[in-house]
């Protein structure tokens, strides 16, 4: 725990949903946390509520220039980054048959959920490799391993993120870095209402059909569990499901 206090954790998509819960859980433990989010105002509001050890950082993971300059925009007291939690993602336009959905929606999902994850990781990981220490935690989804109709782009993005995580673990096997994948099942966040472009009735009906969902704090506890293991041990992957799913 003491070594973790010397640097910080960057959580992408950290201003809402699962990311927000992870930020809060780390902040409660007294750790330095950077909230990376394209919604800079929401990131600042959350950071202000958690104290001076939490830093808001405007970050669109699909913006190459913003990601490439990431480390240069972090104050010295929040360096080095000892942990990256790749959480940013969306499913806007999802739950639509592939031929009936928008090609722009499908491309945006891939750009954020997969390419954004890879880009941010590439930006921060060389310094971790140089120190021979660090944690990369990738939030994927049950959709990485379970195929569901009408979710082609989202499933492809999460299956790709899973493959990327496994290959990253293989590439870095001779280093001290730990690579973890968390695969949440249905979680009660705003990803669903955003999928339906603000349609609250569609969101309500979606959650009601499944009756039960995880809470973002459930996912945050799993992230902390992985990070709290001794340095010679990595939690390769955790699949989280509501108890009424299989």
Which residues belong to the active site? 154
| Residue 145, number of CB atoms within 10 A of its CB | 14
Cα–Cα dist 48/54, whole Å: 8
Helices 17-28, 40-50: axis angle to 10 degrees equals 20
For residue 237, what are the β-bridge partners?
181
Tokens standing for residue 53: 């050890």
| Residue 79, number of CB atoms within 10 A of its CB | 15
Going by their DSSP bridges, the two strands 177-184 and 81-86 should be labelled as unpaired
CA trace torsion 157, 163, 167, 168 (10° rounding): 40
C-beta contacts of 94-98 below 8 A and 24+ residues apart: 94/150, 94/151, 94/153, 94/154, 94/195, 95/150, 95/151, 95/195, 95/196, 95/206, 96/150, 97/149, 97/150, 98/150, 98/152, 98/153
Which of 67, 73, 32, 36 lies closest to 52, judged by CA? 32
């Amino acid at each position: 725990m003491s070594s973790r206090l010397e640097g910080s954790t960057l959580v992408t998509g950290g201003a809402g949903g699962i990311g927000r819960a992870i930020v809060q859980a780390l902040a409660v433990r007294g750790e330095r946390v950077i909230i990376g989010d394209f919604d800079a105002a929401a990131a600042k509001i959350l950071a202000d509520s958690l104290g001076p050890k939490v830093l808001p950082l405007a970050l669109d993971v699909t913006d190459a220039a913003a990601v490439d300059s990431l480390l240069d925009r972090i104050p010295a007291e929040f360096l080095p980054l000892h942990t990256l939690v790749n959480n940013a993602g969306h499913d806007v336009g999802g739950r639509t048959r592939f031929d009936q959905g928008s090609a722009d929606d499908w491309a945006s999902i891939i750009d954020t959920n997969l390419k954004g994850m890879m880009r941010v990781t590439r930006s921060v990981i060389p310094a971790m490799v140089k120190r021979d220490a660090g944690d990369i935690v990738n939030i994927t989804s049950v959709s990485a391993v379970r195929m569901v109709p009408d979710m082609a782009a989202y499933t492809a993005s999460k299956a790709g993120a899973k493959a990327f995580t496994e290959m990253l673990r293989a590439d870095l096997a001779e280093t001290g870095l730990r690579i973890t994948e968390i695969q949440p099942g249905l979680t009660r966040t705003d990803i669903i209402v955003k999928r339906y472009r603000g349609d609250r009735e569609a969101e309500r009906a979606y959650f009601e059909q499944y009756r039960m969902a995880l809470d973002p704090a459930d996912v945050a506890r799993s992230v902390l569990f992985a990070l709290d293991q001794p340095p010679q041990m990595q939690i390769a992957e955790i699949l989280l499901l509501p108890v009424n799913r299989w």
